[in-house]
Amino acid sequence: MPAKTELTLYEEILLLALDDRKGTAGIESGHANAMGGAILAELALAGALRIGADKKKMVDAAPGARVDDPILVECLALVAGAKRRRRASDWVLKFAGRKDLKNRVARGLVAKGVLVEGRDRALGLFPRTIFPERDAGPERALIERLERAVLTDTDRVDERTLMVAGIAHATGLLGRAVDKKRLKERKARLKQLVDGQLASAATAEAVQAVQAAVMVAIIAASAASAASASS
């Protein structure tokens, strides 16, 4: 049996966003903010960041916290070195806006044998880098986890699946893993998942904080885009 490929939360989010055959993720997929939220979630689950329990959801780096993943190291350093405290939604936007984030994450998946890097031309004119799927196993395993979490009534859902489900739901990516018609039929179950009702108190708080931060970040990004277009 082949060894299980361990993925970060933001790698799992990108797999949902990418078209398996084309190897592209459109702007409409919301993948940038989703990955920003997943980075925040990964750092929170690792105990490297603390998200305030009040309405402001201010974020602090845990003293002496250390992580190994290069992107997580970079983002943790941003929080630790910030001149002032920021809200969780601010950090989602900042993480999402890291230079070349999508391609960096995708190349990490290339190194793990999940994707392959290639080149083509958008609209037959503009050169671009694409990342088609090479090994469907990790995404298939993720989809199975999400389907089990959403489409059954099991009370055993691990914290990482809860995080991915919450972020994917907030950004509209969950419909790429679970049939959209079935999602509409499972609204009560989705509320259970995204409210963290199946998690420990600490994880439930983190799930809610990250999902709320992602949604605020999406609204802020949309408002900024609209203001730019009208100016």
Tokens of 95: 């993480």
Residue 164 has pLDDT above 60, yes or no: yes
Q: What is d(CA 103, CA 94) in angstroms, rounded to the nearest whole number? A: 16
**Minimum mean pLDDT range among 23-37, 112-126, 151-165:** 23-37
Strand pairing report for 86-87 and 58-61: antiparallel
Q: Can you read off the two tokens belonging to residue 48?
A: 């490297």
Contact assessment for residue 26 and residue 171, using Cβ atoms and an 8 Å cutoff? no
Q: What is the mean pLDDT of residues 106-111?
A: 97
pLDDT band at residue 1 under the 50/70/90 scheme: very low
| Residue 214, H or E segment | helix 201-230
Give the type of residue at 221: A
Task: Tell me what pLDDT residue 139 has.
Answer: 96
| Nearest residue to 206 (alpha-carbon basis) of 56, 58, 45 | 45
- In CATH terms, 9-230 corresponds, of 1.10.3630.10, 3.10.20.30, 3.40.50.720, 3.90.700.10, to 1.10.3630.10
Q: How far apart are CA 175 and CA 54, in angstroms?
A: 31
Least confident of 10-19, 114-123, 221-230: 221-230
HSE-up of 208 (CA within 13 Å, CB side)? 19
**With a threshold of 0.95, does the pTM exceed it?**
no
pLDDT at 202 over 60: yes
Q: Can you say how many angstroms the Cα of residue 1 is from the centroid of all Cα atoms in its chain? A: 28
